[in-house]
Structure 1
C-alpha cells in the first residue's frame, strides 16, 4: 500500500523543486550584480545549470527575478516571530529586534540590496509591480507584528498607522544597508542605538 511518506512526487512537485533550486542559485548572482546587470546567460554562467535549463524553466529574466524574490521573501516574512513571541518586556523586544536587524544585514546584505533595487525598478518596469507590491505588503505586516507587540509590552498605543511605522523602520534599515555597503560592518555597531531611539517614537507619548 502506498503511504504519504513513500508516494512518488508529482511532475508538478518536481518542476517546483527544480525552479526553487534555480532560484537559490540565481539569487547569489542577482545579489552580486543587481537587476540591470544580470542576464539569464550570466546567471547560468555563475551556476551549475546551463543557459538552456534556466531558459526552460523561466521564459525571461523578469520571470526568474520575480520568482527568486518571492521565493526569498517567503522565507523572510517570519524573521521576527521569535522576537515577538519571546520578548517579555518592551526593552527586551527592542534589544532583540535590533540584534535581528544587525544579523540579517550582516548575513544577507546582497539579498537586501537586490530587494531595494527591484523595488526601485518597479516604478519603471510594470512587470515587477504586482510582485513588489505583494512582497512589500507582507513585509509591512511582519514589521507591524513587532510594533503591536512592543505597544502591548509598553502599555502605550501605536502613534502611527502600519504603513507609516513600516516606512520609518524600513527607512532606518535601508540607511543602515547603504552605510554597510559604503563603510563595512563596523557601522552596524551603531544600529542598536538608532533602534532604541526610533522605537518609542512609534508609540503615543506617556501621559
Structure 2
C-alpha cells in the first residue's frame, strides 16, 4: 500500500472514530436527564430509550450496557463541572473576593444542577459495590479534588498564609458540606443553598492558617 493510501485510510478511520464518539456524546446528553431524575438503580436502557428519540437497539449499539452509558454521562457532565471555578480563581484579587464568589458559585450550581450532582453521588456510592465503576469514579474524584485545591491554594496565596490541610482533606471538607446541602435541598429545604453560601467562606478560612 502506498504512503498516500495509508494516509487516506488513517483519515477515514479517524473520522469514523470521531463520528462514533460524537454520537455517543449525543446519546449521553439525551440520557442524562432520565438518569438524573431516576438514578442508576431505577433506570434501564429500555427506559432511557422510551424517554428519548433513540431506540433501545441504538443505545445498545453505542454503549455496552447501562454501566458504560452512566459513566459516559457523568464524565460528560463532570468535564464541564471541573472548570466551573477557573474563571473565579483567575479574576480574584483579594481573599475575601474569592471567598464570596466561590461560595456564590457553589450555591448557584446547587440550585441549578441538583439532580445532576445527585447522579454523581449515586455513581460514587454504586462504585462501593460495582468494581466496574471504580476506575472512572476515582479519576473523576481526582479531578474534583484538583478543582477544589486550585481554589484553596489560590485563597491561601491571597491571604497570604499556608494551607493547614492536604488536598484530600480540603476536598473532603468542601465536598461533604456540598453533599449535605444537596440532601437538604432535595428534601425541600430552600434555605440549604443560602446556608451553603454562608458556610463555604468559613471552611475556606479554617483550612488556611491566617
TM range (shorter): over 0.9
Q: Deviations over 1:68-122 (max 9, x none)?
A: 1111111111110011101110000010001110111111111100000110110
The yes-or-no answer on 1:202 pairing with 2:207 is yes
Runs (4 or more) in structure 1 with deviation over 4 Å come to: none
Match of 1:71?
76
Contact 1:66 1:128 in 2 (8 A): yes
Separation of aligned partners in 2, 1:66 and 1:38: 14
The yes-or-no answer on 1:97 pairing with 2:72 is no
Gaps of 5+ in 2: 1-10
Separation of aligned partners in 2, 1:189 and 1:75: 23
Match of 1:130?
135
How many residue pairs get aligned? The number is 199
The yes-or-no answer on 1:19 pairing with 2:24 is yes
Q: CA RMSD in A?
A: 1.4
Q: Deviations over 1:125-157 (max 9, x none)?
A: 000000000000000000000001000000010
Separation of aligned partners in 1, 2:109 and 2:134: 25
Larger displacement relative to structure 2 (75-84 or 140-149): 75-84
Deviation at 1:183, TM superposition (A): 1.9
TM-score with structure 2 setting the length: 0.91
